[in-house]
Structure 1
Amino acid sequence: MNSTRYFCRTAKILGVNVHYEVYETDRTKPTLVLLHGFLSSTFCYRKIIPLLKNDFNLVGIDLPPFGKSEKSTRFVHSYSNMAKLVIELVQSLNIKKAYIVGHSMGGQVSLHAVKERPDLFEKVVLLCSSGYMKGVHPSLKVGSYIPYFYLGIKHWLARQGVLKNLHNVVYDRSLIDNEMMEGYLEPFHDNGIFRALNRMIRDHEGDLTSEELKKIESPSLLIWGNEDKVVPVHVGERLKQDLPNSVFYSLKNTGHLVPEERPEYVTEKIIDFCLAN
């Protein structure tokens, strides 16, 4: 078995410091780019990275302002700009072709990236991807310009609490332990994230439309939890209809965090899908 070279670095991309992690076993192997969801980080892939790293070189990216990436109030936190950031980072690593995996919000970023650069990203994997959401309500966008509006965001997230949020995204609550809670809480120890989230409200443009999705011809793998309370399974079924070259799987007794809840199944499907001719 090949040994894996691991390193994590920060790169300045589009004026913002982006944290990324690389697991490399063999440069001749294909590359998987991993994108997390809203209020998350590359931590969400902790269970499937060990299972994937023998078949792929892996690049996990913390999308700003999440994880260990910069909590900037100058960066434009739109999906299209995040996709541009991902494209530039991948190219800076001299990667010519890759597959891209996106969970939740990361699915929309992945779709934008594939839409812009189908030559760079040959296939896309969507894990409980966001879909068909409209842009932020105009009153919220106006509110984001009010001084100290970010404190309201902080208060709302604190009131929710990490345990309550995790209860909402997993079906089997016995999976929730201290390591999991701390891993998802860690990015919020930096108060700068709340100001950046305030900016994100302003920049959010909504998900790709059916018309835009139908133009994406790249092969797409969709995996959903039947008990997903955040992005219900019917969203995945609709995406399957709109993405012309897609396959769809749903899992019983599984919630929104499919990489955490069903790592072996997700890994098997990704390997079969990406390595198929």
Structure 2
Amino acid sequence: MERRVSTCTLNIDDVKVYCEYILNGKPPIVLIHGFVSSTYTFNRIIPLLENHFSIIALDLPGFGRSEKSTKFVYSYENYAKLVAKCMNYFQLDDASIIGHSMGGQIALYTARLVPDKIKKLVLLGCSGYLKSANRLLIYTSYLPLFNTFVKRSVNNKSVKDSLRNVFYNHSYITDDHVKEFERPLKDKNFPKSLIRLLRHREGDLPTEELRKIHTPTLLIWGEDDTVVPLEVGQRLSEDLPNAELITYKETGHLVSEERPNEISNHILNYHFSGITAE
């Protein structure tokens, strides 16, 4: 069946932001990818959701097809403000947010920022309880050779090896995965945007802030996630006042690729009834 996805590039806060969207008058959901990723994270679940939702998926500044800005302040607070402005552009109210990994943490920041506009959260392998970079590392990032160091580190790491780290079943890794995850690495400003993220990222929300977020939240985790271990999901389910946790055996960090049908069913059931599918 032919996909009905449209694309555009928005200028938000002087940063070019790439979006994929399907506007069909149905309940809106916003998709936020994780670290060194893109909207491609959701390529297997969008076709399963597009008949039920209006969908907005964006590449965060610094990643995917969005601008690798050397001026944007890459804090979670600013990412959340950008998501909120993107929602305003598409005139979305009462939207649900699906966030993967770092995107899950940004979803939490967004729910804290504009709680009245967020209906529900679905967090996939959500980042949690990470501190900001220490001061020494931040100071070191201003040294002239630090950019060269980061650039070499990025270029020396195999994309396929990185993908093996986020998949439990390596047979799911395709050439398209390699191509899409490799795309931002080729931008000359990618290392600079990573450095700025290192400097500006204020850290994940602590327990006392999480307890203030009453948005209904579904946490979905791979039990074999080696990037964000299941213990993080279990802790989040305790700290978020209105959360429940679902786990999958033999599943890694990129749950949307390994369990697309199950996740889509959970999203549908959770969004429309608040009851997750067994």
Q: TM-score, normalised by structure 2?
A: 0.96
**Residue by residue, what CA displacement relative to the aligned partner does 1:119-149 show, whole Å, maximum 9, x if unpaired?**
1111111000000001112121112211242
- The number of equivalent residue pairs is 274
Inter-partner Cα distance in structure 2 for 1:276 and 1:153: 46
Name the counterpart of 2:126. Answer: 129
The amino acid across from 1:219 in the alignment is P
Out of 101, 116, 132, the position equivalent to 2:113 is: 116
The amino acid across from 2:67 in the alignment is E
Out of 167, 170, 174, the position equivalent to 1:173 is: 170
The amino acid across from 1:214 in the alignment is R
Is 1:147–2:140 an aligned residue pair? Answer: no
Inter-partner Cα distance in structure 2 for 1:8 and 1:128: 26
Name the counterpart of 1:7. Answer: 6
Inter-partner Cα distance in structure 1 for 2:151 and 2:252: 25
Contact 2:154 2:185 in 1 (8 A): no
Inter-partner Cα distance in structure 2 for 1:4 and 1:175: 22
CA apart distance, 1:92? 1.2
Is 1:56–2:53 an aligned residue pair? Answer: yes
CA apart distance, 1:154? 1.8
**Residue by residue, what CA displacement relative to the aligned partner does 1:88-113 show, whole Å, maximum 9, x if unpaired?**
11101111221001000000100000
CA apart distance, 1:276? 1.3
The amino acid across from 2:266 in the alignment is K
Q: How does 1:94-243 map to 2 (within 5 A)?
A: 94-243=91-240
Inter-partner Cα distance in structure 2 for 1:167 and 1:203: 28
Name the counterpart of 1:19. Answer: 18
Contact 1:150 1:197 in 2 (8 A): no
Inter-partner Cα distance in structure 1 for 2:39 and 2:72: 20
The amino acid across from 2:19 in the alignment is Y
SS in 1 for 2:149: helix
CA apart distance, 1:159? 2.3
Inter-partner Cα distance in structure 2 for 1:212 and 1:167: 33
Inter-partner Cα distance in structure 1 for 2:147 and 2:203: 21
SS in 2 for 1:60: strand
SS in 1 for 2:116: coil
Inter-partner Cα distance in structure 2 for 1:125 and 1:249: 11
Inter-partner Cα distance in structure 1 for 2:248 and 2:35: 22
Inter-partner Cα distance in structure 1 for 2:209 and 2:31: 23
Q: TM-score, normalised by structure 1?
A: 0.96
CA apart distance, 1:156? 1.4
Inter-partner Cα distance in structure 1 for 2:129 and 2:95: 26
CA apart distance, 1:4? 6.4
Contact 1:4 1:23 in 2 (8 A): no
CA apart distance, 1:14? 1.4
Contact 1:135 1:206 in 2 (8 A): yes
Identity percentage of aligned residues? 43
- Structure 1 residues not aligned, in runs of 5+: none
Q: CA RMSD in A?
A: 1.3
**Residue by residue, what CA displacement relative to the aligned partner does 1:249-276 show, whole Å, maximum 9, x if unpaired?**
0110000000011100110101111111
Name the counterpart of 2:248. Answer: 251
Contact 1:171 1:253 in 2 (8 A): yes
**Residue by residue, what CA displacement relative to the aligned partner does 1:2-21 show, whole Å, maximum 9, x if unpaired?**
x9643111111112111111
Inter-partner Cα distance in structure 2 for 1:227 and 1:273: 24
SS in 2 for 1:206: coil
- Structure 2 residues not aligned, in runs of 5+: none
**Residue by residue, what CA displacement relative to the aligned partner does 1:134-172 show, whole Å, maximum 9, x if unpaired?**
111212111221124222112112222101101111000
The amino acid across from 1:19 in the alignment is Y
The amino acid across from 2:21 in the alignment is V
Name the counterpart of 1:44. Answer: 41
**Residue by residue, what CA displacement relative to the aligned partner does 1:213-237 show, whole Å, maximum 9, x if unpaired?**
0010000000000000000000000
Inter-partner Cα distance in structure 2 for 1:108 and 1:142: 25
Is 1:81–2:74 an aligned residue pair? Answer: no
